[in-house]
Chains A and B, each alone.
Chain A
Amino acid sequence: MTKDDGEMVEEQKKKPCRFWIWALSSVLFRLILISYAGNLNLSSRPEVSTPLTSIRRLAEGYWLKQASMSPYAGSMYHGSPLLLSLLGPLTVQRIKGQPSHLFCSLVFVIADILSAILLRGIGKKLQMAYGLNARLLGLLKSPRDKGILPCGDIAALVYLWNPFTIVCCVGLSTSPIENLAVILALNGAVTRRVPLAAFGLVMATHLSLYPAILTIPVIFLLGYGLDAPPLKLFLQTRNVESGNRSSTSSASKQAKSKPTAQLPFLWKTVVHFVFWALVWSLCVMVLCRLSLSKHGGLEEMFKRTYGFILSIEDLSPNIGVFWYFFAEVFDFFRNFFLIVFHVNILFMLLPLAIRLKHRPCFLAFIYLAISSLLKSYPSVGDSALYLSLWALFVNELADMKFSFFLFCGYLGVSLLSPVMHNLWIWRGTGNANFYFGNAIGYACFQIVFVVESVSAMLNHDRALKKCNPNHQKVKN
C-alpha cells in the first residue's frame, strides 16, 4: 500500500483501457489465424472438433436438408436444428480467394467476444461481492483495497487468450456458441436477469445436454445470491459484535442487518425462473418442430442428439477416454458401463451442492469441469470454458496447490496429443494406446484440477474463519 491515492485513480482509469487493448489484440490474432485457417487444418483435429461440434458435419447436415432429406439422415449431424438453420447457410457462402468457412469463423469470433464481455460482467459482480464480504467480516478496512484482483478482467482475458479457445474458434468447432450459451445463463443469474438466465440455460441444454446440471447453481444464485463465505462466519461476527458494541462501524451495521439464522431463499425469483425456463424450452421445441416438421419431428431430434450423446455410438478418437473404452469393452457390459459413466456425473451433484451451496458460481464452475471430464465427446472447447471460469476465483483460489504442476500437465498434454495422434493415424508407427495414454493423462490432470480447486475453496473458507479478527478476539 505504498502508492498514493492519485496514482491509484490513474491506475483505475488505465485498467479498462488496457483490458480493451488486450481484447482487441486477441481478436486481431484470431483474424490473422483465420486467414491461414486452410493451412492450419485445425477443423479436422480430434481435440477440436468432435462429432457433435464439427463444422463439416454441420455442412453435411445442411446439404442433406437442402436435398430435402432429414439432416439427421445418416450418422453425420448430431447437433441442434436451430444451429443448422443459423450456421448452415453460412457454410455454403464463399468468397473467391478466401478460406471456405469465413463467415462461420466470423460468427465464432463474435461469440467469443460476447462470451468474454459477459464473463467480465460476472467477474465484476463477484469482485464486488468479494470485497463487500471481506469488509463485512472485517478482513479489509479500506473500501479501495489493492488486495482484490480484478477477476472479471482476468477471466475475460484468460478466455480470450486461452490457446484452447483460440484453437476452437479458428478450428470451426461450434463449441464457442455452446460456451456462449452457458456464460449467458450464468451472467443472467449473477445479474439477476431471470429471463436471460433461463434463456441461456435452455439454449445450452438444447445445444449440448450437459449444461442441464447447471440448473442447480443457477437456482442457488437466484435464490441465495452471489458467492459468499459460509453463513456461520457472519453469525459469529454478529455475536462478537453484539458482545462488544464499542467498535461499531458502518460495515458491521450492514453485517447486522444482513445475516440471519437462516439465509433467505427467494422462492419468488426461483419460481419466476422456472416459469421462464418452461417458456423458453417451449419456444425451442416449437422452433425445432417447425424446422423438422417433414423429417421425423422432435422424436427423431432427441434420438439423434441426446440419444447419440448418451449411447456413445461414435468411437472416433477424441481427447476423452470413452471412445477407446467403448471400442474395447465387451458388448455384454456396454450398457452397464454406459450407465455407470453417465451416473458418475449425477452422483457428485448432490454432495457438491450441499458443501458449496454458499458459492453457487464456484459450484457451476465445478459442475462444468466435471461434465467436461466425463463427457461422451469432450473437446478442448469445454476445457477453455471451465478454465476461464476458474479465473473468476483468483482471489479465493490464490493458494491452490499443484498449480504449476497442473499448468505443465495441461501444456504437456496439449503438445503431446497432436504428436501421438500423428504417430498413430498418419504415420502408423504408433498404436491406439499412444493416444489413449495421452487422454488418460489429460483425464488425470483434470481430476487433480477439480479436486484441488474444491479443496482450495474449502480451505479458503476455513482460512477466512481463522483470519477473522473476531475469531482472533475470541481466542484471546
Chain B
Amino acid sequence: MAGLVLTRPIPLLILQSFLLAVAFGSNEVEEEFSEALLLKPLPDRKVLAHFHFENRAPPSNSHGRHHHLFPKAISQLVQKFRVKEMELSFTQGRWNHEHWGGSDPLSSMNAKPVGVELWAVFDVPHSQVDASWKNLTHALSGLFCASINYLESSASYAAPTWGFGRNSDKLRYGSLPREAVCTENLTPWLKLLPCRDKDGISALMNRPSVYRGFYHSQRLYLSMVDSGEEGVGSGMLLEQTLTVVLQPDDVSVEKHLQPSWSLSSLFGRNVVGKCVLAKSSNVYLQMEGLAHPEAHTLWKNAEFELSIKPDRTLRESSSVLFIYSIDKSSDSEPFDLGLTWKLPSKWSCQQAPLHASRFLMGSGNERGAIAILLKATESQDKLSGRDLTNGRCTIKANIFQIFPWYVKVYYHTLQIFVDQQQNTSSEVLKKINVSPSTDKMSSGMMEMMLELPCEVKSAAISIEYDKGFLHIDEYPPDANQGFDIPSALISFPDHHASLDFKEELSTLPLLSKFKDKSLVRSYTEVLLVPLTTPDFSMPYNVITITCTVFALYFGSLLNALRRRIGEEERFLKSKGKKTGGLKQLLSRFTAKIRGRPVESPSSDSPATRSSILSTKLLFKIILVAVAAAAWQFFSTDM
C-alpha cells in the first residue's frame, strides 16, 4: 500500500511523512481517505450532487493517539465515549420522495429529517449509556457549533428498541427539528477532511451555491470496524456526506427540455486536481431511466451529450453510471463536467412502496390528533407478488415516532384505517411498543409494525392527544410560533435499497456503499403544534392577586370564628354610650340581673381620652418631623 502511494507525484512534505510511516510500520495497513462526487439529474429539472468522503483508520493498537489522516477530534470522541456507531445529520429542506427517489440507496441513506438528527450506539454498560449520550451531545455541540446539547435532557431523546431498524438496547436517538443549519455547521465539518475545502472535490463547495439549493443535508457517519484479532483495537470508519439538490440556471429557450448544466454553472467553481491525500478521487454521473443504446456511444447520443468522455461506464438494471477520475485535471485544464440535453426526456425515480405523510387534525389549543397517511405509489405494482408470506402478499411498515411530553398522547385512541375502512387493530397491527411520556421528564415513543395487504391504496393511523400547559420559563422566546413534533420514521423492513453494478469496480467506496443493502426508509414532515401561552407579563400580578384572595379567606374566616357574644355586647355598649344614657342604663340593669359586675366605665371621660390621644399623636408627629429635619440637615451637610 505504501509503495503504491510512493509511485504518485506528491509534494515533498507529504513524501517525508509517508516515508516515516513506512519506516515505522510498513507491514500495517495505512489510513485511507477517498473522495467522490455523484451527480444525478432529477426528473423535476433539478440536479442532485452528493459528496462522499470516506476516512478509514485500520484496526491497530500502535496508532494510539496519533493519526495521519483520521481527524483527531473524532477519534478522541470515540475513545472517550466508547461510541460504537453514530450518525449526525444537519438538514435544511425536505426530501421530495416522489421526484427524487424513495427506494434507492442514495435517498434511503441521505433523506434526513429537517434540523439535526443524532443517533448513537454505545459500547458501555447499560447504566452508563445515558451519561455517555449526554457527554456526547455536549462534545458534538462544541465540535459542530450547533445546539445539539439540547438533546441532553431526557425529555428530548428516546431509546428505540426495534422501530428504528437497529436492534440494540444501547441506542439513543434524538432530533432537533428547529435547528437552523448554515455555514457555521459546514465549516467545522469540512475541517475534519484532510484537504478541507482547499483542494480536490471539496473545493467545489462554494457556500452561496450550496445553500441556495432546495435540499441540503450534511451527514457524518461513524462506525467501529472490529478487527476480530485479540489485543488489536477496532478500526474506525468515518463517512462524511453532503447531499445538495440544486436548480441549474436554465439558459436554453426551450422550456420542455431538461436544463443543461456543468459543474462550473452549478457550483461556480471547477475541480482543479484531486486532494493529494486521497486514495481515490472520482466523479460519477448517474442517469436513470434511459433507453439502452450502444455502450460506446452512451455518453454522446441523440438525447444528451456529456462534455467529457467517461473513463468507465457501468450499467445497472435501471440506471447507467459514468465514472470519471479527476487525477488528470490541473490548473490549466480544470475538470468541468457538463451535461447538455438535446431532446426532451422524461423518467421517474424508484419509489418506496408507500408514500408517507403526516398531519395534524382538530382545531383549538386544547387537544387534537396526529394522523399518518400511507399512500400507495406506482412502484407498488412491481412489488406485489414478491413478498408472499402465508400465501398472502403483504407490505410491512415500521413506524417510529417520538412525542415530546407536552403532546400528551392517548394511546388507547389509536385508530387504523385501511382503504378508508376502520380496521380492528389486531388485523393490521402486528406489533406495538409504547413508552409513554412523563411530564417534564421523558419524551414518549411509539414503535409499531403494520402488515398491510399489497393491494392497499391507502392506510391511515390516527392518535389523539391533549396539549400540555407549560411553565412560563419553559416557553422559547417566540412562544406563539408553536412547538415542533419531530419527524416520524417509516421504514419497510422487507424492502432493501441497493444498486449493484456487478463489476470489480464496486470496491470503490461509494459504489460499495451502494451495494450494501440498506433499509428503505422515509421521514415524514415535522409538525408544528401551537400551544396556548399564559400571559408572560403577569407573574407579579398573579402572585399578588392569588395571595390576596387567600389572605381574604384566612382573615375573614378567622374573624368570623373569633367574634364572641360578649365582645359584641361590649361593642354595642360602647355604641350605646355615645347614643344616649337610656341604653346604657338598660345594659347595666340587665348585667345586674345576670349577676355579673357591671363593667366599670373607664375613669376618663371620652373628652379627656381624646385629648390624651391627640397629645400622643402630636408628640409622634413632632418626633417624626424632628427626625426628618435632622436627616435633611445631616444629608445636606454631607
Chain A bound to chain B: yes
Residue ranges of A at the interface with B (Cβ–Cβ < 8 Å)? 44, 56, 59-60, 62-64, 67, 69, 73-76, 313-317, 321, 323-331, 341, 344, 347-348, 351-352, 355, 373-374, 424-426, 428, 431-433, 436, 440, 443-444, 447, 450-451, 454-455, 458, 462, 465, 474-475
Given contacts A64-B411, A76-B410, A454-B560, 5 further A-B pairs with CB under 8 A are: A75-B405, A323-B469, A328-B542, A425-B366, A443-B553
Known: A63-B412, A327-B471, A331-B471. A76 touches B533 (CB 8 A): no
Which 5 A-B residue pairs are closest in the complex by CB-CB distance? A74-B436, A63-B412, A75-B439, A426-B364, A455-B560
Known: A64-B436, A74-B437. A329 touches B543 (CB 8 A): yes
A321 CB contact (under 8 Å) in B411, B440, B466, B546: B546
Known: A316-B468, A316-B469, A458-B560. A75 touches B552 (CB 8 A): no
Distance in angstroms between the alpha carbons of A462 and B563 in the assembled complex: 11
A62:B412 contact, CB within 8 angstroms: yes
A373 CB contact (under 8 Å) in B363, B405, B553, B558: B553
Whether B329 sits at the interface, judged by CB under 8 Å, is no
A447:B434 contact, CB within 8 angstroms: no
CB distance from A243 to the nearest CB of B (A): 13
Whether B128 sits at the interface, judged by CB under 8 Å, is no
Q: CB-CB < 8 A to A465: which residues of B?
A: 565
Distance in angstroms between the alpha carbons of A424 and B467 in the assembled complex: 14
Q: CB-CB < 8 A to A59: which residues of B?
A: 410, 412
Known: A331-B471, A425-B364, A454-B560. A475 touches B593 (CB 8 A): yes
Q: CB-CB < 8 A to B558: which residues of A?
A: 348, 351
Q: CB-CB < 8 A to B471: which residues of A?
A: 315, 326-327, 331
Distance in angstroms between the alpha carbons of A451 and B550 in the assembled complex: 13
B437:A75 contact, CB within 8 angstroms: yes
CB distance from B573 to the nearest CB of A (A): 16
Distance in angstroms between the alpha carbons of A88 and B538 in the assembled complex: 41
Whether B604 sits at the interface, judged by CB under 8 Å, is no
CB distance from A57 to the nearest CB of B (A): 8
A432 CB contact (under 8 Å) in B437, B438, B535: B535
B556:A474 contact, CB within 8 angstroms: no
Whether B561 sits at the interface, judged by CB under 8 Å, is yes
A351:B561 contact, CB within 8 angstroms: yes
Distance in angstroms between the alpha carbons of A102 and B506 in the assembled complex: 65
CB distance from A317 to the nearest CB of B (A): 7
Whether B549 sits at the interface, judged by CB under 8 Å, is yes
Known: A327-B469, A348-B557, A447-B552. A426 touches B410 (CB 8 A): no
CB distance from A423 to the nearest CB of B (A): 11
Q: Nearest B residue to A67 by beta-carbon distance?
A: B434
The A interface is mostly helix, strand or loop, or mixed, namely helix
Q: CB-CB < 8 A to B545: which residues of A?
A: 440
Q: CB-CB < 8 A to A443: which residues of B?
A: 549, 553
B468:A313 contact, CB within 8 angstroms: no
Q: Nearest B residue to A64 by beta-carbon distance?
A: B436
CB distance from B407 to the nearest CB of A (A): 12
B593:A44 contact, CB within 8 angstroms: no
Whether B172 sits at the interface, judged by CB under 8 Å, is no
A426 CB contact (under 8 Å) in B365, B439, B468, B563: B365
Q: Nearest B residue to A330 by beta-carbon distance?
A: B539
B543:A73 contact, CB within 8 angstroms: no
Known: A75-B437, A325-B542. A431 touches B535 (CB 8 A): yes
Map CB proximity to A onto B365-404 as digits: 1 under 8 Å, 0 otherwise.
1110000000000000000000000000000000000000
Distance in angstroms between the alpha carbons of A327 and B364 in the assembled complex: 20
Q: CB-CB < 8 A to A63: which residues of B?
A: 411-412
B549 CB contact (under 8 Å) in A321, A329, A433: A321
Q: Nearest B residue to A454 by beta-carbon distance?
A: B560
CB distance from B500 to the nearest CB of A (A): 42
B473 CB contact (under 8 Å) in A317, A331, A462: A331
B434:A328 contact, CB within 8 angstroms: no
Q: Tell me which residues from 171 to 186 in chain B have a Cβ below 8 Å from any Cβ of chain A.
A: none
Map CB proximity to A onto B399-442 as digits: 1 under 8 Å, 0 otherwise.
00000010010111000000000000000000010111111100
A329 CB contact (under 8 Å) in B366, B367, B542: B542
Q: CB-CB < 8 A to A474: which residues of B?
A: 593-594
Distance in angstroms between the alpha carbons of A437 and B472 in the assembled complex: 18
Q: CB-CB < 8 A to B470: which residues of A?
A: 315, 327
Known: A351-B558, A462-B565, A474-B593. A313 touches B552 (CB 8 A): no
Distance in angstroms between the alpha carbons of A361 and B240 in the assembled complex: 76
B542:A75 contact, CB within 8 angstroms: no
A-B contact pairs, 15 of them (CB 8 A): A74-B436, A74-B444, A75-B439, A313-B439, A316-B469, A321-B546, A326-B471, A327-B472, A329-B543, A348-B554, A351-B558, A431-B533, A440-B549, A447-B556, A455-B563
Residue of A76, A348, A351, A355 ringed by the most chain B CB atoms within 10 A: A76
Known: A75-B438, A331-B471, A455-B560. A325 touches B412 (CB 8 A): no
Known: A327-B470, A327-B534, A331-B473. A451 touches B411 (CB 8 A): no
Q: Nearest B residue to A422 by beta-carbon distance?
A: B364
Q: CB-CB < 8 A to A424: which residues of B?
A: 532
Known: A347-B554, A450-B557, A451-B557. A426 touches B366 (CB 8 A): yes
Q: CB-CB < 8 A to A352: which residues of B?
A: 561
A444 CB contact (under 8 Å) in B444, B473, B549, B560: B549
Whether B590 sits at the interface, judged by CB under 8 Å, is yes
CB distance from A363 to the nearest CB of B (A): 12
B436:A428 contact, CB within 8 angstroms: no
Q: Tell me which residues from 543 to 602 in chain B have a Cβ below 8 Å from any Cβ of chain A.
A: 543, 545-546, 549-550, 552-554, 556-558, 560-561, 563, 565, 590, 593-594
B534 CB contact (under 8 Å) in A60, A328, A426, A462: A328
B434:A317 contact, CB within 8 angstroms: no
A324:B542 contact, CB within 8 angstroms: yes
A454:B557 contact, CB within 8 angstroms: yes
B408 CB contact (under 8 Å) in A75, A327, A328: A75
Q: CB-CB < 8 A to B434: which residues of A?
A: 64, 67, 69
Q: Nearest B residue to A348 by beta-carbon distance?
A: B557
Distance in angstroms between the alpha carbons of A316 and B532 in the assembled complex: 10
CB distance from A314 to the nearest CB of B (A): 7
